[in-house]
Amino acid sequence: MTDDSVLDGNAAAGVLGAVFRFEATTTVVTCAACHATGPLGGTVVYLSDMGTVVRCRECSAVLIRAAELRDRVVVDLRGAATITVAVPG
Ligand SMILES: [Zn+2]
């Protein structure tokens, strides 16, 4: 049996794209718990009616939480030590 609410990090692109005006899946995230670093698209995402939870693929710590509340999106980034975004040169 598979759980359709558990996806890879690309599943968080929609909700995060509403907040961050860059391609969210190309960002590099460093886990605050274990310091693993990798592309957001390589994380593990859990989707539910409560929101989106992005977890570290290495240690399962919560990196990012995002919730859509009527006309706004609330993002909790406490689990991400850094988020690196490439800018056009
Ligand atoms: Zn980790």
**11 CA distance to ligand 1 middle (Å):** 19
Q: Give just the sign of the alpha carbon dihedral 49, 53, 58, 59.
A: negative
Question: What separation in angstroms does the CA of 65 have from each of 40, 58, 75?
Answer: 13, 17, 6
3-state secondary structure at position 23: coil
pTM comes to 0.81
pLDDT tens digit sequence for 31-47: 999 999 999 999 999 99
**39 CA distance to ligand 1 middle (Å):** 13
Per-domain boundaries in the chain: 8-84
Written in H, E and C, the secondary structure of 52-87 is EEEECCCCCCEEEEEEEECCEEEEECCCEEEEECCC
pLDDT tens digit sequence for 17-73: 777 777 777 889 999 999 999 999 999 999 999 999 999 999 999 999 999 998 898
Ligand 1 ion: nearby residues, β-carbon < 5 Å: 31, 33-34, 36, 56, 58-59, 61
